Amino acid sequence: MTFNQATAIVTDCIHSVTGSQDTIDLSASLKAAGIQTSTALDALNDSICTDVNIGVPSVGEHLEENALDLTTDTVVNSVIGQVHDKSTKMHPALLQAFVNALSAEPDKKAIARLSMNTSDLRRQLPLPAKKTKRS
């Protein structure tokens, strides 16, 4: 996962929880970004860890549900750093289940993200190697 992807994941999840599309100041706290209650914090953790459209699974990686140390005073940049550092490559079986789920229920946004991360996915999926033309 790149920092750019981690930033997109955290900001998308904050927007999803708060229902606001306001620009998020990455150097400010989650409280300033609109995550003010423990319920909202739990919702943010839930989205980051398990949302296949905008969370860590959307880039083919996995984040353990107890991994993030979040309070409403945690700085957004810190959350991005934690997501980046604590995410691990998804287990191939989980990734296959994720791809199958997307195939069964096409989602434009998810497919767009998936296509952007084809190279990442190819490294995870046991895809057959491309046949090369014999000279």
Partner 1 sequence: MNMRIPTALTIALRILLLLVGVRAAAATSTIIGATMDYNEEHQLMVDVLLSDYVPASSSAALFDISNYILLDVDSGRFLPITGVKLKQCGNNLQLLLDPTLYYPPAAKAKAHLHLFIKNIRLLKDEKAGTLDKDVSVRLEVNSEVEMVCTPPPPTTATRGTAGTVADQGSQHLLTAGKGKDDSDVYLSGQANGASGQKFTYTADVKLSFPFKAVHFSRVNTFAPLFTYNASTDPKANPDTLGIGLDWSLFPVRDLSPSPFTRLLLTNSPKIEGTHDLDSFNFVHGLRFTLLSRVARKGMASFYFLPYVGQEVGTLISSPIAAAEGGLIARPNAGGDLILVFDVNQTYLKSVSIESNGGRRWLLRNEVAVDTDKTGKVTAVNSTTKPKDDVKNTLSLNITDYWSITFSHEYGRVPPLYKLVDNKMTVGLTYKAVVNRKSVF
Which residues make up the interface to partner 1 (CB under 8 A)? 1-8, 11, 16-20, 22, 26-27, 31-32, 34, 36-40, 42-43, 45-47, 49-52, 65-66, 69, 71-75, 77-78, 80-82, 84-86, 89, 116-117, 119-120, 123
Residue among 69, 110, 112, 117 nearest 89 (CA): 117
Smallest distance from partner 1 to CB 65, Å: 4
Beta carbon nearer to partner 1, 82 or 135: 82
Q: How far is the CB of 133 from partner 1 (least distance, A)?
A: 19
